[in-house]
Each structure stands twice: as structure tokens, then as C-alpha cells.
Structure 1
Amino acid sequence: MFVVCRSNSSSFRSVVAATRPCFSCPRFPPLIAIPTPSSSIRFPPLRSFSSPRQITRMASKVAQDQQDSRLERISSAIRVIPDFPKPGIMFQDITTLLLDTKAFRDTIDLFVERYRDKNISVVAGVEARGFIFGPPIALAIGAKFVPMRKPNKLPGEVISEEYSLEYGTDKMEMHVGAVQPGDRALIIDDLIATGGTLGAAIKLLERVGVHVVECACVIELPELKGREKLGDKSLFVLVKGAA
């Protein structure tokens, strides 16, 4: 065993036997013990280490792979039921997603990761399945949850917005005072098809001075072109289904 000692010369280090005192520099004790140098020790060349850019790319790839696996798990957990509630409809059933605790958690986590730092003060859930996803997202990002309901469901004074359906019209209602001018809102639902309900929710919130940051859904049926009903509002979806 050898020791490294300080020398009187700042440019020189003396190596002496550990069992003998270091008389060349009596004012300074040994610093650290090191093994006898050996030609068998080999260090990798510097070029073998990844650059910061390579490390960033690798981290991004790992994060993308993780997100892709979560989206695949979510998609596979959604059951599609043909001809419900009427012939020709491919119903996207999220009840099977709710039974899969891992896929359900992945769904909430992906939304929370997206909206945690967007200064959202209101999560507005569209009846009825928006009530499932909205509250846990609101709690996680520190926002209040506001239900947007069909007519005659809310007990207090309401404001309403009428929208068109394939046959006829419907209304969406919200309690007066549930939101305030200047609030920043996320509108959440399980699925966007023709976009009528999300479009009505946007109009209802904007009428009282709320800024709608984005609409979000678990599933989109792109063939039905619901995005076109949202105007210039951004839409974020996790998976796409078949109409």
C-alpha cells in the first residue's frame, strides 16, 4: 500500500511507503491511501461517454416509449360494442377501462402531466362520463370541478346553451356563479364524436368571461369531424376509435 503526500513543491507529489513516515514533508500528513499502480487498470476512452445531446435524446426516447406503452394499455382496455345503442353505432365502452386500475391510472396521469403547469383554475366535466375523469384531474392540479349538465338536473339558478343534435336540439346547463370571469378552464369528456356537446360547453363558459384553455377527451372518432365544431380551440385526445 502506498500513500500520496503533499510536497514542498506544489507541482510535485511524492509517493512513499505507508509504513514509514513522510520525512520529505513533515508539516503535512498523508492525504489518501491508493493501491500500487498496476498496468492492468484500464480506463475507457473519453469518446465512449455519451454527449449531453445524446443523453437528452436517450431520455426522450425512454419517456416516449413509456407514454406509448400507457396509450396502448388504455386503448386495449376500451371495449367496442357494435350496434349500440342503435344499429350502425360502434359504441366505445369505457367501463372496461375503469375496471383496469393500471389503465385508469395511466389515463388520469397523462392528463395531469399535460395540465399540471398550465394554470388551470376550473375543470369543467361534461355529463355524464366527464364526471368520471374530471374530478381526479381537478384534485391533482389544484383546480375546482364544475359539472356541466343536461336540463333540469341542477337544483340552483342556471345558465344554459342550446346545441344541435342529429335529430333535434339539446341544452347544457351550469350553475350561476360556479365560475368567475378570468378563470382558465379545461373541458373534459370521455369521447368526442360530432363535437356538439363540447362546442356548447365552450360557448357556455365563454359567455361568462372564462378562458377555455383546451378541450380533452380520452377517445376521438375522427371520421365524424368533431374538431370542426370547436372553432379555434385546441383538442387533446389520448386514443382514436372507429366510428
Structure 2
Amino acid sequence: MDRLERSLREAPIVEKDDGYQYFVHPISDGIPNLDPGLLREIVIRIIRKADLAEVDKIVTPAAMGIHISTAVSLMTDIPLTVIRKREYGLDGEVAIAQQTGYSENEMFINDVHEGERVLVLDDVLSTGGTLASVIDALDEIGADVVDSVAVIKKVGGENEVDERGYHVKTLVNVDVVDGAVVIVDANGDD
């Protein structure tokens, strides 16, 4: 069993409003602490899985995609743009609505331009609300989403990414059953 699987099996579960089962994990929450070996394993798996040949820029939503995307950027020399939860008012800034299984926010894309080829990276694909909104906004900007990868996919329930016809590759697919994380597919989606 690899580090990612082991860390997921050990992840505590907290129940959010309306019974949403949320696993607490270093990749998605920064707690417990993030083992460098786990991060290295994830970055290597992303680099092997993602189509990087034509990518000009990595794009990630704040906050928990930042550490993963930074590490991938350092290993590939591909520049990184972070989608922020704060408005800056810069020329070309695009506002997007972010909706997850447990919250709604507004996010802002800066420094992504028409014709740029981007890789979208994120920590968890659960309801697909965040990634669907990000990919929609990138399409509206005119950027070419070459590939998108989420480290962990929580299966079951509706998924806005699938409903909108987007494909997101994942490293591992999990479910939460009876208060525990269950590995559904240790290789994720290609």
C-alpha cells in the first residue's frame, strides 16, 4: 500500500451540516502535518498522469491546491497561477462562483489569457463545483485546458464536472462509508 492510500485510510471523518461526511487529510486540509514523502509521491504521480507536453501554465484554486501545484511547478518548471478568494481589481480579472459540498465563495482568476494552454490542479474532487466553475471560467477566458488533475476523488453523489462534460484525472478514488475512508480505486481515473 502506498503512502497516499495509507494516509487516507487513517484520515479522521467529521460531519458537516446536513450530514456531509468530510475526511480530514494533509492534502486537503493541511492537518495532520504533510509528510514530505507523501507530497513527493503525489507530485511524481501527477507528473506521470498529466499531459504536460504542451502546458504553458498550471492553474490552481486557493488554498489547498497551492502546495501540490507549487511542488509540481518546481519539478516541471511550468509557471503557476493561483485562483484567489480575494479580488484585486487587476485588468483582466475574472470572478467565478465556487460552490462545494459545504460552502459557497467567490474566487478570482488573474494572469490567465486567451490561447494559453493550462493544466488545472486541485486537491479533492467531491461535488465538482469548484473545478467545474474554474474550467468554465478558463473556457470563457479562451484558455485551452490541456488537462486537469485532482489528487483525490470522493465518489458518490452528483458531480458537476461530469455533468458539464469535463474530464478530471484523479490519483485515487475514495468513498466515506460508516465513518471511514474506503479506497474505491487505488489508481483513480485516467
> Per the alignment, do residues 85 and 217 of structure 1 end up closer, same or farther by CA in structure 2, a change over 3 Å counting?
same
Does 2:152 align with 1:222?
no
Q: Deviations over 1:164-223 (max 9, x none)?
A: 556885322112xx1222111111111011111101110111111101122211110111
Residue 100 (structure 1) aligned with residue 100 (structure 2): no
2:165 counterpart of 1:235: no
List gaps (5 residues or longer) in structure 2: 177-190
Partner residue in 2 for 1:110: 45
CA contact (8 A) 1:97 1:103 kept: no
Structure 1: distance between partners of 2:36 and 2:90: 35
Task: Note the alpha carbon deviations across 1:102-157, whole angstroms, 9 max, x for none.
Answer: 222110111122336431111111111111111121232232101112243x4634
Q: Aligned pair in 2 of structure 1 residues 116, 203: CA closer, same or farther (>3 Å)?
A: closer
Aligned match of 1:60? none
Task: Please show how residues 151-170 of structure 1 align to structure 2 within 5 Å.
Answer: 151-152=86-87, 154=88, 156-157=90-91, 158-164=93-99, 169-170=104-105
TM-score w.r.t. length of structure 2: 0.76
Higher relative CO (Cα under 8 Å, sequence separation at least 6) belongs to 2
- Which of structure 1's runs of 4+ aligned residues deviate more than 6 A? none
**Aligned length in residues:** 170
1:76 equivalent in alignment to 2:6:
yes
Given that residues 196 and 229 in structure 1 are in contact (C-alpha distance below 8 angstroms), is that contact kept between their aligned partners in structure 2?
A: no
The whole-number CA distance in structure 2 between the counterparts of 1:111 and 1:218 is 8
- Asked whether the 8 Å contact 1:74–1:97 carries over to 2, the reply is no
Query: RMSD between aligned alpha carbons?
Result: 2.6
TM-score by length of 1: 0.61
> Structure 1, unaligned stretches of length 5 or more?
1-68
Distance 2:4 2:152 in 1: 10
**Per-residue deviation at 1:88?**
4.4
In 2, Cα distance between the equivalents of 1:147 and 1:100? 23
AA in 1 matched with 2:7: A
The answer to whether the Cα contact below 8 Å between 2:7 and 2:25 also exists between their aligned partners in 1 is no
SS across alignment from 1:147? strand
Larger radius of gyration: 1
- CA deviation after TM superposition for structure 1 residue 85, in Å: 4.6
